[in-house]
Amino acid sequence: MTRSLIALAALSLSVPAAADRADQALESDTIAWDFVEGITTEIGPRMPGTEQEARARVWALDWLRANGFANVANEPFEMDTWVRGTETAQIVAPYAQPMAITALSTTSSTGPEGIEAEVVYFPSYADLEAAAPGSLKGKIAFVSHRMRAAQDGSHYGFAGPARWTAPSLAASKGAVATVIRSVGTDSHRVPHTGTTTFAEGVRPTPAGALSNPDADNLERMFARADGQPIRMKLVMTPRDLGTTESGNVVGEIVGRDPSLPPVLLACHLDSWDLGTGAIDDGAGCGIAAAAANHVAAQGQPLRTIRVLFAGAEETGLWGSRAYAAAHADEPFFVGLESDFGADRIWRIETNFTRNDPELFRQLASAVARFGVAPAAGVATGGADLNVVRDQDGALIDLQQDGTRYFDLHHTADDTLDKIDPAQLRQNVAVWTAVVDVMANHPQPIRREEGSAE
């Protein structure tokens, strides 16, 4: 769309003059790219609780100060820290060959000698649920629960339990280890890591995710083996480091009336250790900070805009929970989070659409020229917005196109070259338009107390 067409669309929708800043972000924003390029180049992977994540906090503090943010601070907290070690998988019989695997966090070590056992195949999570108690004693469970791509990423909710709880479920039935099909939509020989959780009373066991091509291959082996047992050897040596320090990095664009509740823009600064955390979530922090910066460049907003670069999200929302506890008594006007990559925004949702339709119409008008459609769904906010959810506060979801997000999610392929600069600029433009409306909105948002909408 040319600039003249953008201007006509803005005029027809009665968008405020400050929309010019969002238009400029669409055409020429470099702030978000500067952030994500810098942190992935100078820091790289930022595993929660590690020295790399600590270096990232120092880098982010310096970057925020250099880009005009005030009240820049690190808010430390303690967390349990897990790091990976050696990780290999080998089919021993009947079709001996290596497989690409990565350990899931909070899982235990096989020891340096590894574990060798018969593999039991479960095509789905439901099949594992149906397995009899004790039936997996001394065996390795293989759960091949397949994920499909979707623009809204909704199939993650279906496929996720294979990682989130299948290792615990298999261990409760006697399994000595669990391997899953990666919770991802790619066909590359690159496994997807992530966190799993063991239920109370279930002793953690080794668990890892196979790349999707290797999971396909293992399925074919079961089809061809004609009843012969398939044996696998796993060597995974992760370690628990005990309690270490992480932290939340914050900075503000101070508003004309600091007594008003601020607008909170969240992301998470940590990343998994396999890639460099470009889409998850370096881009999100760049987008949020760029939007705040663009709004400030138009003139001092009415409300303070605070950015929250949460720490240690990936291994258990440590930063989100710590921030919510530390700021429980501080009211927030509205919360937004960017944690779904760097592709274009296509839909806007809020949790106040029915109760404050005029504000929602203003938001929808502000982003329509960027190809963003209003939706009737109820916004739930991102993982690092616990503080706003705990207050039953206002939330806005700017839904990004997730069609290819789970090709890269939690993999070694999460690197800077996967970011499309044009889509990143559209993302920043939409965020700028929305944050401008909210940071200059003088009235309370009309919401029914205790209501989800």
- Model pLDDT for residues 404-448, shown as the tens digit of each residue: 999 999 999 999 999 999 999 999 999 999 999 999 999 999 976
Distance CA 375, CA 367 (A): 12
According to DSSP, residue 371 is labeled T
Q: What distances in angstroms separate CA 444 from CA 307, 322, 352, one per listed residue?
A: 21, 27, 11
Q: CB count, 10 Å around CB of 315?
A: 20
Query: Would you state the pLDDT for residue 19?
Result: 65
Q: Which of 229, 236, 240 is nearest to 138 (CA)?
A: 229
Do the Cβ atoms of 332 and 264 come closer than 8 Å? Answer: yes
What confidence score (pLDDT) does residue 420 get? 97
User: pTM surpassing 0.85?
Assistant: yes
46 DSSP 8-state letter: -
Residue of 59, 18, 10, 68 whose CA lies nearest to 36: 59
User: Roughly how many angstroms between the first and final C-alpha of the chain, as a whole number?
Assistant: 34
DSSP, collapsed to helix, strand or coil, labels residue 378 as strand
- Among 254, 282, 247, 253, which residue's Cα sits nearest to residue 267? 282
Determine the Cα–Cα distance for residues 373 and 367; give it in Å rounded to an integer.
8
Distance of alpha carbon 31 from alpha carbon 67, whole angstroms: 9
Q: Label residue 95 by pLDDT band (50, 70, 90).
A: very high
Three-state DSSP class for residue 150: coil
Query: Domain spanning 3-81+242-439: which CATH class is it, in words?
Result: alpha beta
pLDDT in tens, 200-244: 999 999 999 999 999 999 999 999 999 999 999 999 999 999 999
**pLDDT value of residue 406:** 97
Q: Which CATH architecture has domain 85-237?
A: 3-Layer(bba) Sandwich (3.50)
Domain residues of the chain, as ranges?
A: 3-81+242-439, 85-237
d(CA 346, CA 400): 6
| Cα four-point dihedral sign 1, 37, 303, 270 | positive
Question: What are the start-end ranges of the E strands in 213-296?
Answer: 231-236, 239-253, 263-268
Res 29: pLDDT: 81
Residue located via tokens 């600039």: 3
The alpha helices in 332-420, defined as continuous H runs, are 357-368, 386-390, 405-408
Largest CA distance in the chain: 74
Instruction: Give yes or no on whether 3-81+242-439 and 85-237 have one common fold.
Output: no
